[in-house]
Structure 1
Amino acid sequence: MDLMELFFITLGTAVIVCYGVKLLLFSRMLFPKIWFPLPNYFFTSMGEWAVVTGASEGIGRAYALALAEQGMNVVIMSRTKAALEHVAKEIVATTGKRVKVIVTDLMEDVFSEIEDQLWGLNIGILVNNVGMLPSFIPCKFLECAELDQTITKVINCNVKSMAKMCKIILPGMENRGKGVIINISSGIASIPFPLYTLYAASKVFVERFSQGLQAEYRDKGIIIQTVAPFGVSTRMADYQKTNMVTLSPDDFVKRSLQYLRAGDKTYGSVCHTFLGWLLLSIPFKILYAECVLVSLQDYVKKRTQKASVSASSASSEKGRKR
Structure 2
Amino acid sequence: MQPVLEVSIYTLLRMAFIWQLISLFIYLVGTLTIAAFLYDNFKSLIHIIKALLEPYFQPQLPQTLVDKFGKWAVVTGATDGIGKEYARELARQGLNLVLISRTKEKLIAVTNEIESQHKIKTKWIAVDFAKGRDVYEQIEKELAGIDVNILVNNVGRMYDYPDTLEAVPEDLIWDILNINVGAVTMLTRKIVPHMKAARKGAIVNIGSGSELQPMPNMAVYAATKKYVTFFTQALEQELAEFNVTVQLVMPMFVTTKMNEYSDSVMQGGFLIPNPHSFARSAVFMLGKTNTTTGFWTHGLQVSMIDKRLFPITTFSTIDRFLQYFFMKMAPQHLRLLIGHQLTKRLRLEALGQKKLAT
TM-score (ref. length: structure 2):
0.75
Give 1:256's aligned residue: 282
| SS at structure 1 position matched to 2:129 | coil
Alignment partners' CA distance in 1, 2:93 and 2:83: 15
1:117 paired with 2:142, answer yes
Per-residue deviation at 1:36?
7.5
Of stretches 206-215 and 20-29 in structure 1, the one that deviates more from structure 2 is 20-29
Per-residue deviation at 1:258?
2.5
Aligned equivalent of 1:142, options 152, 166, 172: 166
Alignment partners' CA distance in 2, 1:134 and 1:36: 43
**Aligned pair in 2 of structure 1 residues 9, 93: CA closer, same or farther (>3 Å)?**
same
1:55 paired with 2:55, answer no
Aligned equivalent of 2:348, options 301, 314, 319: 301
Deviations 1:101-156 (A, max 9, x none): 111111222111111111001211111110111332x2232332x23x23322221
User: Structure 1: which amino acid aligns with 2:52?
Assistant: I
User: Structure 2: which amino acid aligns with 1:49?
Assistant: W
| SS at structure 2 position matched to 1:91 | helix
Alignment partners' CA distance in 2, 1:304 and 1:43: 46
Per-residue deviation at 1:27?
5.2
**Aligned pair in 2 of structure 1 residues 208, 21: CA closer, same or farther (>3 Å)?**
closer
1:224 paired with 2:246, answer yes
**Aligned pair in 2 of structure 1 residues 212, 26: CA closer, same or farther (>3 Å)?**
closer
Per-residue deviation at 1:82?
1.9
Give 2:306's aligned residue: none
Contact 2:199 2:243 in 1 (8 A): yes
1:66 paired with 2:89, answer yes
Give 2:126's aligned residue: 103
Give 1:286's aligned residue: 334
Alignment partners' CA distance in 1, 2:195 and 2:25: 51
Aligned equivalent of 1:212, options 215, 220, 234: 234
Give 2:52's aligned residue: 34
Alignment partners' CA distance in 2, 1:18 and 1:213: 22
Gaps of at least 5 residues in structure 1 are: 313-322
| SS at structure 1 position matched to 2:158 | coil
Per-residue deviation at 1:56?
0.5
User: Structure 1: which amino acid aligns with 2:142?
Assistant: Q
TM-score (ref. length: structure 1):
0.83
Of stretches 154-163 and 35-44 in structure 1, the one that deviates more from structure 2 is 35-44
Per-residue deviation at 1:33?
5.8
Give 2:297's aligned residue: 271
| SS at structure 2 position matched to 1:107 | helix
Per-residue deviation at 1:222?
0.6
Contact 1:56 1:78 in 2 (8 A): yes
Per-residue deviation at 1:100?
0.7
Gaps of at least 5 residues in structure 2 are: 1-15, 56-60, 299-319
User: Structure 2: which amino acid aligns with 1:297?
Assistant: K
Contact 2:89 2:279 in 1 (8 A): yes
Give 1:203's aligned residue: 225
User: Structure 2: which amino acid aligns with 1:139?
Assistant: D
Contact 2:157 2:180 in 1 (8 A): yes
User: Structure 1: which amino acid aligns with 2:163?
Assistant: C
Per-residue deviation at 1:217?
1.4
Alignment partners' CA distance in 2, 1:23 and 1:288: 20
Aligned equivalent of 2:175, options 143, 146, 153: 153
Give 1:315's aligned residue: none
Give 1:319's aligned residue: none
Of stretches 33-42 and 226-235 in structure 1, the one that deviates more from structure 2 is 33-42
| SS at structure 2 position matched to 1:123 | coil
Of stretches 152-161 and 28-37 in structure 1, the one that deviates more from structure 2 is 28-37
Aligned equivalent of 1:162, options 184, 187, 195: 184
